[in-house]
Amino acid sequence: MSARAASRLTSALDTVLDRSLVLGYTRIGPALRRRWWPADPEPGCLAGQRVVVTGATSGIGEAMVTSFARLGATVHVLGRNPAKVSTVVAEVRRTLPGAELVEEVCDVGDLDAVRAWCDDLTARLAADGDQGALRGLVHNAGAMVTERTETAQGHELALAVHVLGPHLMTERLLPLLGADPGSPGSVVWMSSGGMYSAGLRSTPDEIEFRPVEGEQEYSGVRGYARTKRMQVEIADAWNDRPDVAGGPVGGPVVRVESCHPGWAATPGITDSLPGFDKVMGPLLRDAGSGADTAVWLVATRPDSAGTHHFWHDRRPRPTTYPVQRRTDPAARRALLDHVAAATGTVWP
Ligand SMILES: NC(=O)c1ccc[n+]([C@@H]2O[C@H](COP(=O)([O-])OP(=O)(O)OC[C@H]3O[C@@H](n4cnc5c(N)ncnc54)[C@H](OP(=O)(O)O)[C@@H]3O)[C@@H](O)[C@H]2O)c1
């Protein structure tokens, strides 16, 4: 068989796995795909480079810390609970004694805390001169809440943790992500395959999950899926920005991608979806496989020109299936406007 025919065949097989969900999202997906997916990052390829991982105190984030450290990166291990951050850092150091790890504490759903932490990191890295650039920022922190909860700034919690905080963090760390033109940064939003079940809403009340006429009561699962959909839309919107894509204003080519991890065995799944965990448990992939695509995106910066920026198992994936309606442009615009207003930022 020619290389071209083989590539077509594996592409078709990969798509079948993806559409079947169970085959693609579970441990079966990477077990098969690793036969044809792109090469692993070179060992040591991130030596001397810095990566921030949020939600690093559990599950996929913790696995990501180990993977980045194995590639030689200095990993900024960010969590909201300082004791948990120290425990993870000690644990990873036990496995990888030479790992360069920096403990970071920030609640990504609290916009004031995000501003303060970004300013603090920027000041600390400025003192490091040549070593002050950021090579990767992975927005991995995530949570599924059971009832509508507001943050200190009055935003719905899932929206704040999945969308507003990460957007503000990206905005404020953009100078660090573009600080080394020879090795510009990558931002990855860890979304979820659950986002396929959700569309966007268009008024600020709907975006904030405040009760509106005709809307059912708050549902944590729906809030989770909708904010995960928002992450994918926002990552695509970031890629349209001239100041990240090296467009007309010639900014540094910072990449912004989103991905989903499939279904991975983590404390998050056990706590939030015990029924799902019970049924799917033996088939779930491990946390490292869930972390794989985000790590690979940062380490290799694959060319995604002309595609959407949503990935799974080292391949771009559609953001809607053919049977679904595409995102309503008015709802997308309303979301971007609301995110800008809530975070005090401007879309260039
Ligand atoms: N596991 C899966 O199958 C799966 C599927 C689809 C998508 N995902 C996504 O993958 C990411 C990681 O999930 P996981 O399964 O590893 O979940 P997990 O085990 O619950 O870990 C979530 C992490 O996010 C942190 N976090 C939550 N709220 C935060 C906040 N306000 N500020 C800072 N950190 C916060 C948690 O910190 P604490 O330790 O302090 O709680 C924890 O470190 C999430 O974004 C999730 O939506 C996972």
Q: Tell me how far apart the alpha carbons of residues 158 and 18 are, in angstroms, rounded to a whole number.
A: 26
CA pair distance 65, 74, nearest whole angstrom: 9
Judged by phi (left if over 0) then psi (alpha if -120 to 50, else beta), residue 70 lies in alpha
Assess if CATH 3.40.50.300 describes domain 44-343. no
The 3-state DSSP class for residue 69 equals helix
**C-beta separation of 304 from 324 below 8 A:** no
Protein residue with its CA nearest to atom 8 in ligand 1? 192
CA of 190 to the centre of ligand 1 (A): 9
Mean pLDDT (whole number) for 16-31: 89
pLDDT at 333 over 90: yes
- pLDDT (mean) for 199-224: 89
Residue 149, burial from CB neighbour count under 10 angstroms (0-12, 13-18, 19+): middle
Which atom of ligand 1 lies nearest, measured to the CA of 228?
Answer: 47
Query: What's the pLDDT at 217?
Result: 86
* Residue identifier of the C-alpha nearest atom 7 of ligand 1: 192
> Residue 207, exposed/middle/buried by CB under 10 A (0-12, 13-18, 19+)?
buried
Tell me, in angstroms, the distance from the centre of ligand 1 to residue 4's CA.
39
User: Which one has a higher pLDDT value, 213 or 38?
Assistant: 38
Interval 15-19 mean pLDDT: 84
Nearest to 239 by CA among 306, 297, 168, 299: 306
> Between 9 and 318, where is the model more confident?
318
pLDDT given at position 246: 57
Those residues with Cβ within 8 angstroms of residue 90's Cβ, 6 or more apart along the chain or in another chain: none
pLDDT band at 11 (very low <50, low <70, confident <90, very high): confident
Distance 35 CA to ligand 1 centre (A): 29
In short, whether 263's Cβ falls inside 6 Å of ligand 1 is: yes
Q: What is the pLDDT of residues 131-152, one digit of tens each?
A: 789 999 999 999 999 999 999 9
Task: Determine the distance separating the centroid of ligand 1 and the alpha carbon of 187, expressed in angstroms.
Answer: 17
171 in Cβ contact with 343 (< 8 Å): yes
Nearest ligand 1 atom, CA 110: 31
User: So what's the pLDDT on residue 195?
Assistant: 95
Does the beta carbon of 59 sit less than 6 angstroms from any atom of ligand 1?
A: yes
Domain range list for the chain: 1-37, 44-343
Mutate to test the pocket of ligand 1, among 54, 58, 114, 155 (most ligand atoms within 8 A of CB): 58
* Among the listed residues 141, 73, 24, the one whose alpha carbon sits nearest the alpha carbon of residue 298: 73
Mean pLDDT over 244-251 rounds to 59
Q: Other C-beta atoms within 10 Å of 238: how many?
A: 24
Q: Which of 41-45, 211-215, 243-247, 329-333 has the lowest mean pLDDT?
A: 243-247
Q: Which helix (H) or strand (E) holds 8?
A: helix 3-20
Kindly report the average pLDDT of the chain as a whole number.
92
Tell me the average pLDDT across 3-19. Answer: 84
